[in-house]
Structure 1
Amino acid sequence: MKRFRICRDTRPLRQFVNRHAGRRYKTTACPNLDSDPTRLLLQLCRDGYYLAPGPDHMDRLQQGTGCSYGPLGTELKNSLLQQWWGSVKRSRSTQVFGISTLTARDDGSGEGSPIVDVERLNQLLGAEELTKAQLIQRIQMLLRRSTSLRTSLLQGALEQYSSWLELVNKRLPFGLAETGLSFQPLDGSGSQGEATYASLVWFCSPRSSSQWLDYWTRLRLQWWRKVFALAPSEFSSQDVPEEELQAGVSRGMKIVYSFPWGQETLENLWSRGDCELLQTHGGVRAKIQCRDGRKLVVPHVISVASNMDRGIMAYMHNSLQLLKKHDGKQKLYQRKVLKLHPVLAPVKVALDMGRGSTLELRQVCGGLLQEFLDAGISVWPGYLDTTSLSMEQLNTKYDEMGVLFTMVIDEKTLESGLLQVRSRDTTVREFKHISEVKGFLLRYIRAAHNM
């Protein structure tokens, strides 16, 4: 049998697992099939380490603002951002360049949401010697001098536009892409909510801007539907009504997802003309003109803004499956599965122990853990959990976490090198030799990326 290295230091993983060792994962009776799917999903997300423990995240999720993510939620978010980035960079016949701009702005433009020095504001409000006119003047000056948080990623791309014209030899079209935080007002309350956005700002010929808006709408909808969705029909595109168009926008499209509470926008696509670009560069046309064939033109701007926090919840809702099943006594139960696409699933394999010598089994698990991590395979170290769970409870736990495969190391592994591998999607259990499992996982992951 192949010798395995023991993981050098599993204490951080052990501490994390033991902190949550008291959690129990049970099958639930069939009447719960009719429960609120969003509440059910939030509970699974909290129990499965997608969302951090704490207050109810319902309002934030419905408003499309960010939450406090747990370890698995953070991995899911990073994977989705990476896939978004790759999708716009690999687009056919397009040139897209990545940029990074500041979240806070201190340029005196007055754009965005100001960050006010509360202590200084209180001093002004408490200054009895100031007249009302003087107080208003001082507060206005304080606001003008304040740093502002951006409310979109568009302005940064418009400002950087002229810096990269030489990169494309002043030829259209091309785009600038960025991911980062944006801050939005919440329900007229005056408070701000942050969300992670992915932004593409596309510069194109005025005569082809309408076609480019259609192109990006078609491409983005295809990405949301066909790449990772179990139910593609829940994603759709719509024209933005004229009364909802922003100032300076001639046409708009949006990609929406049908949540249980109604449709919510995942992406906005706007045909913005050239006004904002000209305004950003002081109206100097010669500075920002590009070649469109033999002509010199000021390009039109197409902006794509994707709310990735809402996108995460769309895929989580889309991936939640409630399946009926029977136990050994023919009692009907529901099987809850977070069937995330293999590319997005934060954990590819969970390692757990069956019967056998605890010390030897832990050594084998530790060696496998290190081998998988070295190969870039994400692993859940279930063998470090001291809670005693049946195989049925283990399968329930990992299905609800969205883990692709569960590998159980037991006394048979010590004797013959065989371990049990269970698939989340098929529930089929099969035995594989311990020397083959890493190659099996790598082939599966590669195939998922090529789907």
Structure 2
Amino acid sequence: MFTYCVRSALSGRLCVLNTSRCRRPFSASSSEDLDQVRTLLQLCVDRQYVSPGPANTELFQRGMSCSYGPLGMELRRNLLEQWWHSVTRSTAQVLGINTLNSSTVSETDGQERLRIVESGSLKQILGEQELSKEQLIKRLNMLLQRSPSVRGNLLQGALEQFVPLWGLVNKKLPFGLAETGLCFLASDGSGCPAEVMQTSLAWFCSPRTSSQWLDHWTRQRLKWWRKFALSPSDFSSSDVPEEELEEVASRGVRITYSFPWGPEPLETLLSRGSTELLNTHKGAHSKPLVRDGRKSVPHVVSVTGNMDRGVMAYLSNSLQQLKKEDSKQKLHQRKVLKLHPVLAPVKVALDIGRGGTMELRQVCEGLLQEMMEAEISVWPGYLNTLPTSMEQLNAKYDEMGVLFTVVISENTLESGLLQVRRRDTTIKETMHISEIKNFLSRYISAADNV
């Protein structure tokens, strides 16, 4: 079954989900910036962050959800997990929710929405050649009105759940509702939709404190983005120009990242007032909206983030290209993804020295099991049977962003000692096999608490 996404029931125009037709070209400010972008995108494909293909890498560059490889999926999962912890644990009374992506409820807010239409039903109507133009439009509009819409943001779900969950917190303000999920956006005004992994915090507070809460969440969010950055100054905040504010918003702030082609928003914070909340709970549904001491309905501060663009931002921010001489005194460019230890998809790679034996592989299997039990992500490099030099392996793991490379050798069997190489310094040190798990756990835990 094909899925057609129709932008509006009123216009009757169809928009097939085809991102290759909705491209926005990026222009880097210099040839050096352009080379940096090309290098990053190629590295992301080579090292299993995103799947190959021009259309897919273009989606990734634009901050849209794409086909991720295993490392990219793990990086985004780590980022979402850190976002969730930062929002739900930094301030009391933030509750998690999950709402449906599609809805068959009839919307009356006049907004244009993407809708899902079965191709069979659409083809049947278009195949009725005896219909006049007016009849065709009428039939199509009726089909669209009966078809479920897909969400363009997560805020509406939080507004709908406000009343029952306000009772859960004894109708005390402030409190928030947090959610993550895929949304469909008509990207760049083209009308052609693309998926985005969004994060959302709807913060309900009294009208007199909404401005202060907007400032609070701006500081908190900017601090969070900078926490994991190699170059924190690339992340910044700025007010949303008045002409770009949504109609219901009185004030807004964007947190942006400075990509080689220019700044792009990662999160948008808006002071939205109470209009949308009142519209969501009209008539009899508005009775539970008990007013506070000032006889006013709670105001909403929304925090909406794009985690796909966040993944791209951290990969761009962490890429370093360094010049290095190899063992034969040849100058090479060393590419390293210096991802924050908490975000790095792979914490340690396990390899064996030359002349690998069954005993060495058994040691690696034991270490792998230990680290998996400690929830430390491991790349089992020892399973690779192709002959590869340690310099080539180190280059590969640096590009993958692996924090540590552990090499098991004959010496490990004799004395229990193994070699540990650090990604960020390239320093190699000797450590006893019994110490490695605790060392890695302490290192990652310390990095998370910085």
TM-score (norm 1): 0.89
Residue 185 of structure 1: how far off its partner (Å): 1.2
Q: Are the aligned partners of 2:350 and 2:364 in contact in 1 as well (CA < 8 Å)? A: yes
Matches within 5 A, 1:12-161: 36-92=35-91, 94-109=92-107, 112-161=113-162
Residue 33 of structure 1: how far off its partner (Å): 7.8
1:245: which partner in 2? 245
Is 1:230 paired with 2:230?
Answer: yes
AA paired with 2:273?
Answer: G
Residue 360 of structure 1: how far off its partner (Å): 1.4
Residue 191 of structure 1: how far off its partner (Å): 2.4
Distance in 2, Cα, partners of 1:151 & 1:165: 24
Q: Are the aligned partners of 2:49 and 2:69 in contact in 1 as well (CA < 8 Å)? A: yes
Distance in 2, Cα, partners of 1:327 & 1:173: 59
Give per-residue Cα distances to partners, 1:91-130, cap 9 Å, x unaligned. 24x4210000001111011663111222222222221222
Distance in 1, Cα, partners of 2:280 & 2:123: 34
Is 1:281 paired with 2:285?
Answer: no
Give per-residue Cα distances to partners, 1:319-352, cap 9 Å, x unaligned. 1011122234443222110000000111111000
Structure-2 change in CA distance of 1:35 and 1:269 (3 Å): closer
Distance in 2, Cα, partners of 1:289 & 1:113: 34
Which deviates further from its counterpart, 247-256 or 142-151? 247-256
Please give the secondary structure, in 1, of the residue aligned with 2:277.
helix
Q: Are the aligned partners of 2:401 and 2:423 in contact in 1 as well (CA < 8 Å)? A: yes
Distance in 2, Cα, partners of 1:290 & 1:402: 52
1:309: which partner in 2? 308
Is 1:265 paired with 2:265?
Answer: yes
Q: Are the aligned partners of 2:61 and 2:312 in contact in 1 as well (CA < 8 Å)? A: no
Residue 393 of structure 1: how far off its partner (Å): 0.6
Structure-2 change in CA distance of 1:197 and 1:255 (3 Å): same
Distance in 1, Cα, partners of 2:408 & 2:90: 44
Matches within 5 A, 1:400-439: 400-439=399-438
Q: Are the aligned partners of 2:174 and 2:206 in contact in 1 as well (CA < 8 Å)? A: yes
Q: Are the aligned partners of 1:197 and 1:307 in contact in 2 as well (CA < 8 Å)? A: yes
Q: Are the aligned partners of 2:50 and 2:57 in contact in 1 as well (CA < 8 Å)? A: no
Give per-residue Cα distances to partners, 1:53-92, cap 9 Å, x unaligned. 3345342133321011111111111110010011111224
Q: Are the aligned partners of 2:33 and 2:261 in contact in 1 as well (CA < 8 Å)? A: no
Structure-2 change in CA distance of 1:57 and 1:260 (3 Å): farther
Q: Are the aligned partners of 1:405 and 1:423 in contact in 2 as well (CA < 8 Å)? A: yes
Give per-residue Cα distances to partners, 1:187-230, cap 9 Å, x unaligned. 444321001001000111111111111111111111111x1001
CA-based RMSD? 1.7
Structure-2 change in CA distance of 1:33 and 1:59 (3 Å): closer
Unaligned runs of 5+ in 1: 1-31
Matches within 5 A, 1:238-387: 238-283=238-283, 285-291=286-292, 294-387=293-386
Please give the secondary structure, in 1, of the residue aligned with 2:273.
coil
Residue 268 of structure 1: how far off its partner (Å): 0.9
Distance in 1, Cα, partners of 2:281 & 2:32: 57
AA paired with 1:105?
Answer: S
1:175: which partner in 2? 176
AA paired with 1:309?
Answer: D
Distance in 2, Cα, partners of 1:428 & 1:251: 49
Distance in 1, Cα, partners of 2:55 & 2:387: 29
Distance in 2, Cα, partners of 1:277 & 1:449: 37
Unaligned runs of 5+ in 2: 1-30
Residue 35 of structure 1: how far off its partner (Å): 6.3
Distance in 1, Cα, partners of 2:360 & 2:374: 21
AA paired with 1:156?
Answer: G
Please give the secondary structure, in 2, of the residue aligned with 1:272.
strand
Give per-residue Cα distances to partners, 1:229-259, cap 9 Å, x unaligned. 0101111111111111112111111111000
Distance in 2, Cα, partners of 1:123 & 1:33: 53
2:17: which partner in 1? none
AA paired with 1:60?
Answer: L
1:443: which partner in 2? 442
TM-score (norm 2): 0.89
Q: Are the aligned partners of 1:33 and 1:322 in contact in 2 as well (CA < 8 Å)? A: no
1:388: which partner in 2? 387
Q: Are the aligned partners of 2:236 and 2:255 in contact in 1 as well (CA < 8 Å)? A: yes
Residue 135 of structure 1: how far off its partner (Å): 1.6
Distance in 2, Cα, partners of 1:242 & 1:192: 26
AA paired with 2:262?
Answer: G
Distance in 2, Cα, partners of 1:165 & 1:420: 56
1:185: which partner in 2? 186
Residue 442 of structure 1: how far off its partner (Å): 1.3
Distance in 2, Cα, partners of 1:262 & 1:404: 29
Q: Are the aligned partners of 2:33 and 2:260 in contact in 1 as well (CA < 8 Å)? A: no
Distance in 2, Cα, partners of 1:233 & 1:78: 24
AA paired with 1:184?
Answer: L
Distance in 2, Cα, partners of 1:175 & 1:34: 40
Structure-2 change in CA distance of 1:272 and 1:70 (3 Å): same
1:28: which partner in 2? none
